[in-house]
Amino acid sequence: MPYQPKTLERVAADCRSRGLAVTFQPGWNTRGSSTFSPRGLIWHHTASGAGSLGLNVVVNGRAGLPGPLCHIFLPRDNHRGVYGDIRIVAAGRANHGGVGSWRGVSGNSNWWGIEADNNGVGERWSDRMLRAYHEVSAALARRTPFDPGLMICAHHEYAPSRKIDPFGPPHGGKWPMGPRRSAVKALLSGGSTPAPPPPPKEEDVLRRGDKGGAVWRCQRMINEYNHGAPESSKGIPVDGGFGPKTESAVNALRKGWNHQPVGNGEWDTETSNRVQDHLTNRKIAALRADLIAEIRRIPTGSGGGLSLEQVVTLLEGARIEGSIKLGS
């Protein structure tokens, strides 16, 4: 099929009817390749610096990758006044998916692409941008058409070995897309955009300059995670003051998990829970190993000891027993 200007004009009208501002990039209707027959939609983020505008890159491309890099662009709130909630960029095939596949469908000729401005290293998405993402996706699904419950995917689902987008709060790290697909599908049935999860309570977030018992517990958890002991001489000072060493240690943890720098150095609920889960699993594994060692010492055979079958049963239950002992 050729370019899709009529489809995008209808998408724009649908979004405007829902109260969103839509603008068009000059040359949008013939930008991209005419070899384009979309069957689904991929969600992306631009990885642009906080507060900046990634529009020029998605329109014109970058070194080694010619533009356009998407069909629809979502600017940050601070650029809405000029570019709207939604900017239509290209009606032809765009270079956005790369090597990958979702539900057996690969190749940019088959996929709409939305790029949204976010740095991808922990910047919080605004409610307005999240609403625009859902609304324009529903409009694309309605006007193409395709099933949003099946054929909307994140770039990290399309290319899981090399991509993480979309990424960031309020949906955690890599966005779980099941709820996003369901939300878009609900919009097609006359529903409203779901409210995003609330931001963490201020008291749940520790950052540089904070002091007190919560910081002390955070420092002990980091040391135990990294060095196996809450007050290891190899770790950070456990002094109840959130200084540069604690901040650096938090960033190092999150960099290791996400294979990229996270940058804000804040100890939030998500980070705390992840460290605690790791420490709990480590303790369960140690208890299980101890239980298995004890069980193996129990004599077996016909001389009054356990049978081999009984020993096997105990070994299989060791992991459960370890969990019970940990909680007691």
**Can you give the pLDDT at residue 1?**
57
**Average pLDDT across the chain, whole number:** 84
pLDDT for res 315: 54
DSSP string, 200-268: PPGGG-B-TT-BSHHHHHHHHHHHHHHHSSTT-TTS---SSB--HHHHHHHHHHHHHHHTS---S--B-
**Which is more confidently placed, 70 or 261?**
70
Residue 105, helix vs strand vs coil: strand
Would the pLDDT of 312 be above 70?
no
| Least-confidence region, from 152-166, 182-196, 248-262 | 248-262
Residues in the chain: 328
Hey, which residues does 62 pair with through a beta bridge? 65
What are the angstrom distances between the C-alpha of 315 and each of 286, 290, 305, 318, 325? 14, 11, 16, 5, 15
Q: What are phi and psi of 166, to 5 degrees?
A: -70, 155
Q: Which residues contact 294 (CB under 8 A, 6 or more apart)?
A: none
Residue 319 has pLDDT above 60, yes or no: no
At 190 the pLDDT is 80
**pLDDT-based confidence at residue 327 (cuts at 50, 70, 90):** very low
Count CB neighbours of 122 within 10 A: 22
pLDDT at 92 over 90: yes
Least confident of 65-69, 180-184, 317-321: 317-321
Q: What are the backbone dihedrals phi and psi of residue 172, each rounded to the nearest 5 degrees, phi first?
A: 80, -145
Give me the residue label for tokens 């996003």: 180
The pLDDT, as a whole number, for residue 211 is 86
Cis peptide before 68 (omega within 30 of 0): yes
| pLDDT value of residue 310 | 57
The per-residue pLDDT for range 213-226, each reduced to its tens digit, is: 888 888 989 999 99
Mean pLDDT, residues 200-208 taken together: 67
Mean pLDDT computed over 107-116: 97
Q: Return the top range by mean pLDDT from 26-40, 206-220, 253-267.
A: 26-40
Predicted structure pTM score:
0.62
% of residues, the chain, pLDDT over 90: 54
Q: Is the pLDDT of residue 263 over 60?
A: no
Separation of CA 121 from chain center: 10
Residue type, 115: E
Q: What six digits make up the tokens of 222?
A: 């980091």
